[in-house]
Structure 1
Amino acid sequence: MSDLLKKWNQLSLVKRIIIGLIVGIVLAVTIPKVAQPIVILGSLFVGALKSVAPILVFFLVMAAISQHKSGQKTNMKSVLILYLLGTFLAGLVAVVASFMFPVTLKLVAGVDSIAPPEGVVEVLKKLFMNIVDNPVHALANANYIGILTWGLLLGLALKKAPETTKTMIVNASEALSQIVKWVINLAPLGIMGLVFNTIATNGIESLMDYFHLLLVLVGCMAFVALVINPIMAFVMMRQNPYPLVFKCLKDSGITAFFTRSSAANIPVNMNLCEELGLDKDTYSVSIPLGATINMAGAAITISVLTLAAVNTLGIHVDMGTALILSVLSAVSACGASGVAGGSLLLIPLACSLFGIPNDVAMQVVGVGFIIGVIQDSCETGLNSSTDALFTAVSEFAEWRKEGKKIVISKK
């Protein structure tokens, strides 16, 4: 048994995740009732990631800012530009794809138990209110905008603190980082439970009615991940971006696909950034910030489903209005990532741009929930892997200017 465990631990994490994925699929197809207890493995894995992520971000940000020396470079400006530009371009890709491959819907019963935001002002108000949230409440509810704000403020206040105090904070952040590594090593078991639950609960048959819609959604997300993001990375790095793109998709995108939570994937992205040798002062801020505002997948979902409703109702859309939709979907996705229901709740907001009644828009939300098992997984995989990609690209661009060699680990 000890030899077997040793061989298992010698395998790369991705290979172990693939094995867990295959086992989960086989069990779901062959003995779903007998293997039902393994569902708890997925719940425990996601719960562990979600529980450690807020406190990890808080201490990492506080440690990074308190240790920051005046004049020391960070790449946050370029990371922020990449986040916002990437989200807008994703919305634009979705609009173009919706014109090229128009989708119509079979509208379903309305979703009455949820309430979408009434406008962009409400979305932005919630974003700003999250900034001034009580720190204990922010930690308890995984409000990363609030956590970042308090981490930054306390870090700045502790800049003149004794070195012993700063060392204690750094030690706490390192201890939490070690806990994250232990949790991530359990990913194969967690993903086995998650994929088993997905297949055993939903099946594949229920999604076939929406195959065309899923094809456009997933196609847009794949195009952004494999074409738009690499182009942006190449412009910054001036070298082949695909080794880095594929590493981020493999090490971050796979776990995000199955956890379906950008917040839960923050520790995974932190671990990836450390492996890439990136500056902790930058990624300790950029990764949790990206989980809040870098929402390319959400912009795609909002644009595609909104234009599907437009096509279903036979509403004419000119290119000017379509461009406004791209901007609206990008801004809304950035500001409302913490709203329950994610990107789907922003569809009525985008539909209002075309005068679509709220009851019809909520039926489109209902369609979104039906395909959510695939749509939300792909969306989260794109969002989260792009957080790590743009953080790395920004720093590697600086390395290129300084003449440093960029090496992407293949393990």
Structure 2
Amino acid sequence: MEKVLKGWCGLSLVKRIFVGLVLGMLFAYFAPNNMSWITIFGDLFVGALKAIAPVLVFFLVISAIVQHKKGQKTNIKSIVVLYLLGTFLASLVAVVGSFLFPVTLSLVSNVSVDSAPQNIVGVLRTLLLNLIDNPIKALFNGNYIGILFWSCLFGIFLKEAKTATKDAVVDIANSLLKVVKLVIEFTPFGVMGLIFSSISASGGDGLLSYGKILLLLLGCMGTVAFIVNPIIAFIMIQKNPYPLVFTCLRESGLTAFFTRSSAANIPVNMNLCEKLGLEKDMYSVSIPLGATINMAGAAVTISVFALSAAHTLGIQVDFISAIVLSLLSAISACGASGVAGGSLLLIPLACSLFGISNDVAMQVVGVGFVIGVVQDSCETALNSSTDVLFTSIAEFSQWKKEGKEIELSKI
């Protein structure tokens, strides 16, 4: 037993995740009733990540600010620009894809979903209200906009605190990082439970009737992940970006695919940033920020569904309207919740641009929930892996200016 345990721990985390993935699939297909207790592993894993992530972000951001010295260079501006540019380009890809491969929907009826924002003012209002949310409530609910706002304020004023106080904050942040690393070690078991739950609940048959819209979504997301993002990375670092792109997809995208939550994947992304040798002061801010505003996958989802609704109703969309939709989708995506299915409720907002009624738009949202098992998983994988990619290329670009060597082939 000791040899087996040592052999298991000796495997890389990615290999162990793959083992958990295969076991989850086998159990789901061959013993779905007898092994239903396995789902508890997935629930525990996601629950642990969601529980620790808000506290981790809160203390890491404060720790980064109190340790920051005057004159110390930061890349946060370039990272934010990359987040916004990437989200807009993803929306543009979705618009182009929808024009090249128009899809019509068989709309469902009697769809029951939560209320959605009716216009862009509603989205911005929600963002601003989340910004000034009660800090305790923000931590409790995982409201990362509020967490970032309050932790930045506390960090700024704690810069004037006594050295012992600053050291205590840093020690707490480091302790939380160790807790996160411990949780991440259980990723294979979490993935096993999550894939078992997913296959048991939906199987594969339910997706066949919605294959066209799903293929269009995945095609657009794949274009962003394997063409658009690498081009941005190449422009930034002037090196073959694919080793870094594949590393981000493998080590961040894979876990995000199963957790279906950008917020829950924050600890995983921070762990990857540490492995890449990035500055903790930088990624401790940029990663939780990315989980909030870097929503390329959400922008794709919003644009594709809105244009599919327009095609279904025979609405002609001109070039100017398509560009406006790209901007609207990008801005709306930044307001998408960092939890499973968060982007779907913003579809009615995009549909309103073409005069599509809220009743019809909500039926489109219903279609989104039907294919959500795959769509939302791929969306989150793209969102989360891009957080690490853009954070790393911003820092690598700075290294290049300083004459430091960037060895992407060794990643």
Aligned position for 1:95 = 95
Match for 2:343: what amino acid?
Answer: S
Q: Hey, what does 1:64 align to over in structure 2?
A: 64
Matched AA of 1:196: F
Shifted more, 123-132 versus 337-346: the winner is 337-346
Q: Distance in 1 between matches of 2:340 and 2:119?
A: 16
What CA deviation, in whole Å up to 9, does each residue of 1:22-74 have, x standing for no partner?
Answer: 00001100010001000000000000000000000000000110111011011
Contact 2:244 2:408 in 1 (8 A): yes
5+ residue gaps, structure 1:
none
Corresponding letter in the other structure for 2:9: N
Aligned partners of 2:353, 2:110: CA distance in 1, in Å?
A: 20
Question: Structure 1 counterpart of 2:366, which letter?
Answer: G
Listed as ranges, the matches of 1:30-41 within 5 Å are: 30-41=30-41
Q: Distance in 2 between matches of 1:174 and 1:47?
A: 21
Cα 1:339–1:391, aligned 2, differ >3 Å: closer, same or farther? closer
- Matched residue, 1:8: 8
- 8 Å CA contact 1:116–1:345 kept in 2: the answer is yes
Per-residue CA deviation, residues 133-178 of structure 1 (Å, 9 max, x unaligned), is 1110110000101111111111110112111111111110000000
Structure 1 runs (4+) deviating above 3 angstroms are 338-341, 408-411
Asked if residue 304 in structure 1 is aligned to residue 304 in structure 2, the reply is: yes
Q: Deviation string for 1:289-329 (max 9, x for gaps)?
A: 00000000000000001111111111111111011000000
The aligned residue for residue 377 of structure 1 is 377
- Deviation readout 1:340-385 (Å, 9 max, x if unpaired): 8411101111101001111111100000000000000000000000
Deviation at 1:110? 3.7
Rounded to whole Å, the distance in 1 between the matches of 2:114 and 2:140 is 23
* Alpha-carbon distance in structure 2 between the residues aligned to 1:38 and 1:118: 40
Paired with 2:295 and 2:160, the residues of 1 have a C-alpha distance of 36
Would the aligned equivalents of 2:263 and 2:339 in 1 still touch at CA under 8 Å? no
CA contact (8 A) 1:276 1:408 kept: no
More displaced stretch, 331-340 vs 13-22: 331-340
Residue type of the alignment partner of 2:155:
G
Instruction: Tell me whether 264-273 or 155-164 shows the greater mean CA deviation.
Output: 155-164
Please list, as runs of the form range in 1=range in 2, the aligned pairs for 1:391-410 lying within 5 A after superposition. 391-408=391-408
In the TM superposition, what whole-angstrom CA distance separates every residue of 1:74-125 from its partner, at most 9, and x where no partner exists?
1000000000000000000000000000100000014234111111101101
Mapped to 1, the partners of 2:8 and 2:338 lie a distance apart of 37
- Determine if contact 1:217/1:304 at 8 Å carries over to the other structure: yes
Partner Cα distance (1:356, 1:367) in 2: 16
State how far apart, in whole Å, the 1-side matches of 2:168 and 2:363 are.
Answer: 52
Change (3 A) 1:341 1:110: farther
How many residues align? The count is 411
Aligned-residue RMSD, C-alpha: 1.1
The residue number in structure 1 matching 2:242 is: 242
**For 1:47, what is the secondary structure of its paired residue?**
helix
Partners of 1:192 and 1:409 in 2: how far apart? Answer: 31
Q: Is the 8 A contact 2:260 2:340 kept in 1?
A: no
**Counterparts of 1:145 and 1:277, CA distance in 2:** 26
- Alignment pair present for 1:342 and 2:362: no
Residue identity in the other structure for 1:371 = I
Superposition map of 1:2-151 within 5 A: 2-151=2-151
Distance in 2 (CA, whole Å) between partners of 1:18 and 1:289 is: 29
State the partner residue of 1:170: 170
Q: What's the secondary structure of 2:343's corresponding residue?
A: helix
- Asked if 2 retains the 8 angstrom alpha-carbon contact of 1:127 and 1:336, the reply is no
SS of aligned partner of 1:240:
coil
Inter-partner Cα distance in structure 2 for 1:137 and 1:388: 27
State the secondary structure of the residue aligned to 1:342: coil
